[in-house]
């Protein structure tokens, strides 16, 4: 059935145009920003994938798509004769196992159970694209099916430039997304280049083919909530505590499930009823309300009963915050997970309009829509400020809330500063220290597609943590992380979180990642695991991402607008044995606001693979720990010194610490 993957773009016969399938969610229309000449170029660019005899028929069709959706997706070429999902690796028509594994990962990112807008090739975050159009998908699959272990595929923002000779130790695929000249990296530049079919926003794991559905983020959100409780409320138990936030979308949907796992009461506002229904049917949202007074009554009862609960408020988060500010309901923790990295094109819905009205206005009257978004952000901030004065702790959830609220003129900046905010970013305040210890979202996919293999990997990972925990002289902060992660991996299967490929996430530090990877490789070699395992990570990690409003917001030496770490990471992973590497403009905080990179590595049981896994993972973690240590983070300095003791080949420059008094005296 998957043989057709090796055939490339289907042209003879030209496939029937599949009907616009209303059974899956679709991306909102994009703004019409191209001039007539730019539109002509967009059509010309799209037609270069096809022979000339098809240009007349396809040219009309593509112009229609451009005028209707603001982008040419090439819907006619969306495959309909096989189901889009991750199949067992053995089913792929490929000449090398590494290529087959990448095909599996790509199809998982486009599975309708996994992807946010599968037919627009968007995996998550509203605009996180795998490819710009379906022609690119078919061509990439064809190249992968032909590829040998002496070739590398270069992919420019979804477009496969071609297969180039390389060596068995080279990465099989190099992906770049949205790499543009820095002065041309505004949001409008992105809109224009995406509409013209020359660049795309890959988010993070979307354009890197390693999204594993909401599970990845449930683990991260659970850890965030537990740490927020410890840090802000001084408690290790969130029972009877209220957490208010927004978003039940791709990643934000995890907030409901994580609230219940932590024992808290999560109230999550969501404007899109379809998103509420999805999470409700999945069992992640336990109750749903439209009526705010009834919702408040229910929450008060849950507080009294210390009941673990997740409630969706079907409506606008601005209205919810304003009603909370007027009420006597105490909220302990607050955040926001609307997609503010993409505020004017479907990421944030202003109060006073229905979901449908907003979707129309953002295309038909973008200026008015812009104004309404900014007005809502000012109102939302003002209500949040009131709640904070009453004792709530609020943080930015890596979605650019603080940045966009500040740009809207909301009362959110520290007095007299344009770049400092009243509230912390969760990375800076809650997660930052975890990253500095080297912990991050390590993950794996069992390419056999069997739950049996996944259970073996869970067991192996649990045993590795137990052995690490039993070591003498273990740091108390590290031990706390091992305990949280041990609990997670012990319960992971019971939480029933697998959607799409048989995958697992487990926050791990450098030594944990290396030992787990080696143990998996051995188990593949011995046959205990029946097929290769792909290891990867979310880019939201210690080394992979330079993002001044998120991953590197706690970097204090003035280098938080520098992106050397992410670029070095991408290059360093590529020659140390990654099977594929990627680097992107943007990420969770938006185009132009970050540089992030990732990797995938196929553990195929070979001895040479074990060596690659060790050296690549050591670099993939210690690069970021070194940079964080150099920028005065004590945890990172402690961690890199420990790593140097373990590996004599690791020699890192550590900072000398100048006394603030001495420096101040120089200015007296
Ligand atoms: N979960 C995490 O750990 C994490 C980490 C980093 C960044 N983020 C960021 O969080 C944001 C959300 O990610 P996602 O994948 O869930 O995006 P998404 O677009 O799938 O979901 C956002 C949801 O917010 C809803 N929404 C928008 N405006 C609203 C409003 N005013 N009131 C109520 N609901 C509203 C939308 O309908 C949508 O369902 C992104 O910016 C992402 O980069 C999340």
- DSSP string of 463-527? HHHHHHHTSTT--HHHHHHHHHHHHHHHHTTTTT---SSSEEEEEE-HHHHHHHHHHHHHHHHHT
Q: Is the pLDDT of residue 660 over 80?
A: yes
Counting ligand 1 atoms within 8 A of each CB, the residue from 339, 349, 592 with the most, and so the one to mutate, is: 339
What distance in angstroms lies between residue 564's CA and the mean position of ligand 1's atoms?
28
The CA distance from 531 to 523, in Å, is 9
What distance in angstroms lies between residue 52's CA and the mean position of ligand 1's atoms?
42
The CA distance from 419 to 534, in Å, is 40
Whose C-alpha lies nearest to ligand 1, atom 39?
Answer: 249
Grouping H, G, I as helix, E, B as strand and the rest as coil, residue 279 is helix
pLDDT in tens, 152-200: 999 999 999 999 999 999 999 999 999 999 999 999 999 999 999 999 9
* Predicted local confidence at residue 69, as pLDDT: 95
Whose C-alpha lies nearest to ligand 1, atom 7?
Answer: 398
Token pair 């599970």 in the structure block, residue: 215
What distance in angstroms lies between residue 20's CA and the mean position of ligand 1's atoms?
25
Proportion of the chain above pLDDT 70, given as a percent = 100
Question: Which atom in ligand 1 lies closest to the alpha carbon of residue 315?
Answer: 33
Counting ligand 1 atoms within 8 A of each CB, the residue from 203, 227, 266, 338 with the most, and so the one to mutate, is: 338
Residue 262 CB neighbour total at 10 angstroms: 22
Mean pLDDT across the stretch 18-31?
Answer: 89
Which residues have CB under 6 Å of ligand 1? 116, 124-126, 217, 220-221, 246-252, 254, 269-272, 275, 316-318, 337-341, 347-349, 397-399, 540, 588
Written as six digits, the tokens of 414 are 């520290």
Question: Which atom in ligand 1 lies closest to the alpha carbon of residue 254?
Answer: 1
What distance in angstroms lies between residue 177's CA and the mean position of ligand 1's atoms?
21
Q: Is the pLDDT of residue 276 over 80?
A: yes
- What ranges do the domains of the chain cover? 2-195, 215-412, 432-500+502-568+599-660
Mean pLDDT across the stretch 508-517?
Answer: 97
Kindly give, in sequence order, each residue whose CB lies less than 8 Å from that of residue 495, ignoring residues fewer than 6 positions away. 218, 257, 261
What distance in angstroms lies between residue 622's CA and the mean position of ligand 1's atoms?
30
- Give Cα separations from 571 to 169, 560, 616 (angstroms): 14, 20, 11
- DSSP string of 64-113? HHHHHHSS---GGGS--SS--SPPPGGGS--SSHHHHHHHHHHHHHH-TT
pLDDT in tens, 328-369: 999 999 999 999 989 999 999 999 999 999 999 999 999 999
The CA distance from 135 to 50, in Å, is 9
Counting ligand 1 atoms within 8 A of each CB, the residue from 118, 213, 252 with the most, and so the one to mutate, is: 252
* Predicted local confidence at residue 588, as pLDDT: 83
* Residues 6, 100 contacting (CB under 8 angstroms): no
The CA distance from 532 to 511, in Å, is 21
* Predicted local confidence at residue 472, as pLDDT: 79
432-500+502-568+599-660 has the same fold as 215-412: no
Residue 76 CB neighbour total at 10 angstroms: 18
**pLDDT band at residue 219 under the 50/70/90 scheme:** confident
Question: Which atom in ligand 1 lies closest to the alpha carbon of residue 116?
Answer: 20
Q: Is the pLDDT of residue 418 over 90?
A: no
Q: Pick one of 1.10.1270.20, 3.40.50.10730, 3.30.413.10, 3.40.1050.10 as the CATH number of 215-412.
A: 3.40.50.10730
Instruction: Tell me whether strands 580-585 and 173-177 are parallel, antiparallel or unpaired.
Output: parallel
Please measure the distance between the N-terminal and C-terminal CA atoms of the chain and give it in whole angstroms: 77
The CA distance from 616 to 571, in Å, is 11
**pLDDT band at residue 667 under the 50/70/90 scheme:** very high
* Predicted local confidence at residue 432, as pLDDT: 60
pLDDT in tens, 114-137: 998 999 999 998 899 999 999 999
What distance in angstroms lies between residue 274's CA and the mean position of ligand 1's atoms?
14
* Predicted local confidence at residue 374, as pLDDT: 98
Question: Which atom in ligand 1 lies closest to the alpha carbon of residue 351?
Answer: 31
CA 185, chain centre distance (Å): 20
What distance in angstroms lies between residue 267's CA and the mean position of ligand 1's atoms?
14
Kindly give, in sequence order, each residue whose CB lies less than 8 Å from that of residue 23, ignoring residues fewer than 6 positions away. none
Mean pLDDT across the stretch 308-314?
Answer: 97
**pLDDT band at residue 251 under the 50/70/90 scheme:** confident
Mean pLDDT across the stretch 540-564?
Answer: 92
**pLDDT band at residue 370 under the 50/70/90 scheme:** very high
Whose C-alpha lies nearest to ligand 1, atom 23?
Answer: 247
Question: Which atom in ligand 1 lies closest to the alpha carbon of residue 342?
Answer: 41
* Residues 171, 574 contacting (CB under 8 angstroms): yes
The CA distance from 349 to 338, in Å, is 8
Average pLDDT, the chain: 95
Grouping H, G, I as helix, E, B as strand and the rest as coil, residue 202 is coil
Question: Which atom in ligand 1 lies closest to the alpha carbon of residue 338?
Answer: 24
Written as six digits, the tokens of 626 are 């070194």
Mean pLDDT across the stretch 77-99?
Answer: 97
Half-sphere exposure of 45 (CA within 13 A, CB side): 21
**Residue from 4, 5, 107 nearest 500 by CA:** 107
Kindly give, in sequence order, each residue whose CB lies less than 8 Å from that of residue 591, ignoring residues fewer than 6 positions away. 178, 185, 187, 190, 201, 341, 585
* Predicted local confidence at residue 278, as pLDDT: 86
What distance in angstroms lies between residue 350's CA and the mean position of ligand 1's atoms?
14
Q: Is the pLDDT of residue 44 over 70?
A: yes
The CA distance from 50 to 119, in Å, is 20
What distance in angstroms lies between residue 248's CA and the mean position of ligand 1's atoms?
7
Whose C-alpha lies nearest to ligand 1, atom 37?
Answer: 272
Proportion of the chain above pLDDT 90, given as a percent = 84
- Among 194-198, 211-215, 383-387, where is mean pLDDT lowest? 211-215
What distance in angstroms lies between residue 200's CA and the mean position of ligand 1's atoms?
19
Architecture of domain 2-195: 3-Layer(aba) Sandwich (3.40)
Token pair 């990997």 in the structure block, residue: 457
Cis ω before 13 (30° cut-off from 0)? yes
* Predicted local confidence at residue 48, as pLDDT: 98
Residues counted in the chain: 668
Counting ligand 1 atoms within 8 A of each CB, the residue from 376, 399, 507, 553 with the most, and so the one to mutate, is: 399
What distance in angstroms lies between residue 90's CA and the mean position of ligand 1's atoms?
36
What distance in angstroms lies between residue 220's CA and the mean position of ligand 1's atoms?
15
Written as six digits, the tokens of 272 are 């899109």
Q: Which long-range contacts (CB under 8 A, 24 or more apart) does 569-575 make?
A: 569/543, 569/544, 569/597, 569/619, 569/620, 569/623, 569/624, 570/597, 572/619, 572/620, 572/623, 573/597, 573/599, 573/616, 573/619, 573/620, 574/170, 574/171, 574/174, 574/599
**Residue from 113, 90, 111, 110 nearest 101 by CA:** 90
pLDDT in tens, 578-610: 999 999 999 888 999 999 999 999 999 999 999
Alpha helix (H) ranges present in 496-630?
A: 510-526, 564-576, 607-630
Q: Is the pLDDT of residue 394 over 80?
A: yes
Angle of helix 476-491 versus helix 451-469 axis, rounded to 10: 160
Whose C-alpha lies nearest to ligand 1, atom 11?
Answer: 339
Question: Which atom in ligand 1 lies closest to the alpha carbon of residue 220?
Answer: 3
Quote the pTM value. Answer: 0.89
What distance in angstroms lies between residue 246's CA and the mean position of ligand 1's atoms?
7
The CA distance from 9 to 78, in Å, is 10
- DSSP string of 36-69? HHHHHHHHHHHHTTS-GGGHHHHHHHHHHHHHHH
The CA distance from 664 to 642, in Å, is 32
Topology of domain 432-500+502-568+599-660, per CATH?
Urocanase fold (3.40.1770)
What distance in angstroms lies between residue 339's CA and the mean position of ligand 1's atoms?
4
């Amino acid at each position: 059935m998957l043989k057709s993957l090796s055939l490339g773009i289907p042209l003879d016969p030209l496939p029937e145009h599949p009907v616009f399938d209303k059974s899956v969610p679709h991306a909102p229309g994009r703004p019409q920003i191209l001039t007539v000449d730019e539109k002509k170029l967009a059509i010309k660019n799209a037609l270069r994938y096809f022979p000339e005899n098809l240009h007349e028929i396809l040219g009309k069709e593509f112009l229609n798509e451009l005028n209707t959706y603001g982008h040419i997706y090439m819907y006619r070429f969306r495959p309909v004769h096989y189901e889009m999902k991750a199949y067992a690796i053995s089913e792929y028509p490929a000449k090398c196992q590494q290529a087959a594994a990448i095909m599996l990962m790509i199809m998982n990112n486009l599975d309708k159970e996994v992807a946010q807008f599968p037919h627009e090739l968007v995996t998550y975050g509203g605009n996180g694209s795998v490819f710009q159009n379906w022609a690119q998908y078919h061509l990439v699959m064809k190249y992968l099916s032909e590829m040998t272990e002496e070739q590398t595929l270069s992919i420019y923002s979804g477009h496969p430039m071609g297969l180039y000779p390389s060596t068995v130790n080279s990465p099989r695929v190099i992906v770049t997304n949205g790499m543009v000249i820095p002065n041309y990296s505004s949001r409008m530049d992105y809109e224009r280049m995406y509409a013209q079919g020359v660049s795309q926003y890959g988010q993070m794991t979307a354009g890197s083919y390693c999204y594993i559905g909401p599970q990845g983020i449930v683990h991260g959100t659970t850890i965030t909530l537990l740490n927020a409780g410890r840090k802000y409320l001084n408690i290790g138990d969130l029972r009877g505590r209220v957490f208010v936030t927004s978003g039940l979308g791709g990643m934000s949907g995890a907030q409901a499930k994580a609230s219940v796992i932590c024992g808290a009461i999560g109230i999550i506002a969501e404007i899109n009823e379809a998103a509420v229904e999805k999470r409700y049917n999945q069992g992640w949202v336990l109750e749903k309300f439209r009526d705010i007074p009834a919702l408040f009554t229910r929450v008060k009862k849950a507080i009294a009963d210390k009941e673990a609960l997740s409630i969706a408020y079907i409506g606008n988060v601005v209205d919810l915050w304003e009603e909370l500010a007027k009420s006597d309901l105490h909220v302990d923790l607050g955040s926001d997970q609307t997609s503010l990295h993409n505020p004017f094109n479907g990421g944030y819905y202003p109060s006073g309009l229905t979901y449908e009205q907003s979707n129309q206005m953002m295309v038909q009257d973008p200026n008015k829509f812009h104004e309404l978004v900014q007005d809502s952000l000012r109102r939302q901030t003002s209500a949040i400020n009131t709640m904070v004065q009453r004792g709530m702790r609020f943080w930015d959830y890596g979605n650019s809330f603080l940045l966009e609220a500040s740009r809207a003129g909301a009362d959110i900046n520290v007095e007299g500063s344009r770049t400092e905010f009243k509230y912390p970013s969760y990375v800076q305040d809650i997660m930052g220290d975890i990253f500095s210890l080297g912990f991050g979202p390590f993950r794996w996919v069992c390419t056999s597609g069997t739950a049996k293999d996944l259970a073996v990997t869970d067991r192996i990972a649990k045993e590795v943590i137990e052995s690490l925990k039993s070591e003498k002289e273990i740091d108390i902060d590290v031990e706390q992380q091992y305990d949280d992660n041990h609990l997670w991996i012990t319960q992971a299967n019971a939480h029933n979180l697998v959607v799409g490929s048989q995958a697992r996430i487990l926050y791990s530090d450098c030594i944990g990642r290396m030992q787990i990877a080696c143990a998996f490789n051995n188990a593949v070699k011995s046959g205990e695991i029946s097929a290769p395992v792909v290891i990867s990570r979310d880019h939201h990690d210690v080394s992979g991402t330079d993002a001044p409003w998120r991953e590197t917001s706690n970097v204090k030496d003035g280098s938080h607008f520098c992106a050397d770490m992410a670029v070095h990471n991408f290059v360093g992973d590529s020659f140390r044995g990654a099977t594929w590497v990627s680097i992107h403009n943007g990420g969770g905080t938006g185009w132009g606001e970050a540089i992030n990179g990732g990797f995938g590595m196929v553990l195929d049981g070979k001895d040479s693979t074990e060596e690659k896994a060790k050296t690549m993972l050591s670099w993939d973690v210690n690069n970021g720990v070194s940079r964080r240590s150099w920028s005065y983070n004590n945890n990172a300095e402690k961690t890199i010194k420990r790593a140097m003791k373990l590996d004599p080949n690791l020699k890192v420059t550590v900072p000398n610490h100048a006394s603030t008094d001495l420096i101040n005296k120089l200015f007296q």
